[in-house]
Chain A
């Protein structure tokens, strides 16, 4: 076998959280080989990941690497421990286009990016007229990846139609869905690709200002983007003939509603991020009252690919309901959580089971679109994932968060969780959204506390419909979705909560007791020592009045003698 010439270590947020930095330090100490700090290849479950690049051009990957002598020496000697192969099922289904360079190049190295085809899309665009560029985008069939799915080419043509160059293009990097990390990963791993897409947009639409509105919770993404912007200025990539494009980053301050276009603009202007009535649309009057267009991070990430391939070639991937590929942030109850990229129209079965390695007998549903979306039961997993198919099920594609929900999770509690989120994030402008979501949340709290009644379910549906109709922006219009979808597919779970005061998943604390099965107990007293509230008596009985159902004793018992059981059951 040939020798190692270079090492790469994944140091995006996920790699760092898994302990990648310590591994990096240990590698540095152990070898003089060059070590590239790269982004995320999407296999977050396998972090920290190290890739050994060999002289013959091939490479060997190592997963779950520890910072100890043994693991490090194993890599340096190309040993067999911790070797990592992309699972075959995933390799077969995945199509890496937008993510092709993520985790393979150094995010903050412009030369590395250009050596791998970077900025060829921009070069190609500059050889065309702005109209021709927009035409390629139209041919590609690209639709916005931020959730709405609006045709990108058409959006660009609206802004291009405005006279002059005093216009702004904004990259929406607010990534508000609290279970999604596609945009973070793109910005951390291939910041230049996102910026290249934005520069192409500036050229095609005649905008002179590019602004990235990024979540403040993403410090690494912001750092990488800032470095990349400096490099762009230095290489004068932002200069088109006599036009020079200004690029800036603004940090959000933690409000979900600021992902909405008009709220985002208000926030950029230093105001409370409250949506306003449209029209005027941002393309007519947006940031600083000038024509403005907003696209999502992943949308921009697709643009260089389209320019390189050509619109028609791009459109050959995907399905009727959506062209190209889509990134999904897979998380929850599955074996291989991480970031995946598949052609539009791939089925949920393929994504969840084949790629995600979830256990077929254990999965109940999947939630797409986060707090604006809905759940899709496992029985419908042959649904192709594209904008239109998901909408027909009352879910949405959203930006790409995909949470796998196991059989041991309560759907009522899941709905309560989402409403807890949306009712707090409502900006308060519309009565239906502000008060309606609060009432829905209260009803759900009542139900999980075992104090609901059957009429509550009708009330939820009624409120849900009215909130959708009576809200100004997408937040209110979609906030009831998680409740309406669970009511549609899992009404029986709601009925059990209200009629029988039972939570079949044993999750809702008010309906559950933690009980000790004396027949299994060997009196080792570990649980007694563990319980922080001394709720377990010396004769091994748990006092339900003292116990907060914190589960600590469950994990401590070597005999699994302590379980959660329906309240009242013995």
Chain B
């Protein structure tokens, strides 16, 4: 196993721990690369194709490197009703991004998530895990500017 993936050894290598291993991989590297898959396959003793299958099954796992700021727009029922599609449209106009994409300058990436559990503040988006609620175009633009300036 490549040195950079040694951290996998912090979890027992029984094949049932694969998902946990992949989660660790993603939180350490930001995404799951081909090398990452290879390392996980080797460590947990499972075929690479098998690992690839697990990665592609679960929405949480990303195969492309995310931007510095990960924007997650909630498209749960409450947020959808309260205007999540408009938020996507505004973000698209502003950043030229569609869900699943990362901007070329690597600052923002965009994804859609289901309910963040803050429906009473709908519509909601989170940036690197920090939730921003009751969004309208103005507040959204302000938030984008703040992050872009950081």
Residues of A at under 8 Å CB distance from B? 13-14, 16-18, 44-45, 47, 176-181, 184-185, 216-219, 250-256, 267-273, 288, 329, 331-333, 337-338, 367, 370, 401, 403, 405, 409, 414, 417, 421, 427, 530, 532-533, 548-552, 555
Contact = CB atoms under 8 A, between A and B. Distances in A.
Given A18-B133, A255-B59, A548 B81 contact: no
Contacts of A269: 16
Contacts of A179: 76-78, 115, 119
Contact of A272 (B53, B77, B131): B53
Q: Which of B22, B86, B117, B136 has the most CB of A within 10 A?
A: B117
A352 to B, nearest CB: 14
A216 to B, nearest CB: 6
29 contacts: A16-B131, A177-B115, A178-B76, A179-B115, A179-B119, A181-B117, A181-B119, A217-B113, A217-B114, A217-B117, A250-B20, A252-B60, A253-B59, A255-B57, A267-B19, A270-B17, A270-B19, A270-B20, A273-B58, A332-B119, A338-B120, A409-B81, A530-B137, A533-B93, A548-B89, A550-B86, A551-B86, A552-B90, A552-B137
Contacts of A185: 117
Nearest to B121: A17
A334 B75 CA distance: 18
Contacts of A250: 19-20
B76 A18 contact: no
B60 A254 contact: yes
Contacts, number: 143
A417 B77 contact: yes
Given A216-B23, A273-B57, A403 B117 contact: no
Nearest to A258: B58
B98 to A, nearest CB: 13
Contacts of B80: 417
A550 B93 contact: yes
B116 interface: yes
Given A17-B118, A218-B117, A338-B120, A253 B133 contact: no
B6 interface: no
A178 B77 contact: yes
Contact of A550 (B60, B77, B89, B120): B89
Interface of B: 15-20, 22-23, 44, 53-54, 57-61, 75-78, 80-83, 86, 89-90, 93-94, 113-122, 124, 129, 131-133, 136-138
Nearest to B126: A17
A361 B111 CA distance: 36
A178 B114 contact: yes
Nearest to B14: A270
B121 A405 contact: no
A294 to B, nearest CB: 17
Given A13-B118, A254-B58, A338-B120, A532 B20 contact: no
Which applies to chain B's interface (DSSP): helix, strand, loop or mixed?
Answer: helix
Query: What 7 A-B pairs come out closest when comparing CB atoms?
Result: A179-B77, A44-B120, A253-B58, A178-B114, A331-B119, A337-B120, A254-B59
Contacts of A17: 116, 118, 121, 124, 131-133
Nearest to A334: B120
Nearest to A287: B16
A53 B42 CA distance: 57
Nearest to B115: A178
Contact of B120 (A14, A180, A216, A530): A14
A477 B120 CA distance: 30
A180 B19 contact: no
A555 B140 CA distance: 13
Given A14-B121, A17-B121, A184-B117, A332 B60 contact: no
A178 B119 CA distance: 10
B77 A331 contact: yes
Given A14-B120, A178-B115, A331-B119, 12 more contacts: A13-B116, A14-B118, A44-B120, A179-B76, A217-B114, A254-B58, A255-B58, A270-B17, A414-B81, A530-B137, A532-B94, A551-B137
B57 A272 contact: yes
A256 B124 CA distance: 20
A18 B81 CA distance: 20
A251 B86 CA distance: 31
Given A269-B16, A270-B15, A551-B86, A18 B121 contact: yes
A549 B137 CA distance: 13
A551 B132 CA distance: 20
A337 B119 contact: yes
A216 B89 CA distance: 27
A18 B121 CA distance: 8
Contacts of A331: 77-78, 119-120, 122
Nearest to B87: A550
Contacts of B131: 13, 16-17
A532 B93 contact: yes
Nearest to B119: A331
A44 B78 CA distance: 14
A20 B128 CA distance: 18
A562 to B, nearest CB: 14
Contacts of B114: 176, 178, 217, 256, 421
B57 A268 contact: no
A180 B119 CA distance: 8
A401 B86 CA distance: 23
A262 to B, nearest CB: 15
Nearest to A531: B93
A47 B119 CA distance: 12
A17 B134 CA distance: 10
Contacts of B20: 250-251, 270
A488 to B, nearest CB: 20
B81 A333 contact: yes
Q: Which of B15, B58, B118, B132 has the most CB of A within 10 A?
A: B118
Contacts of B54: 270-272
A310 B143 CA distance: 52
Q: Which of A16, A253, A267 has the most CB of B within 10 A?
A: A253
A212 to B, nearest CB: 14
A329 to B, nearest CB: 7
A251 B26 CA distance: 14
A552 B57 CA distance: 37
Contacts of A18: 121, 133
B7 to A, nearest CB: 17
Q: Which of B19, B53, B115, B120 has the most CB of A within 10 A?
A: B120
A362 B118 CA distance: 23
Contacts of B124: 17
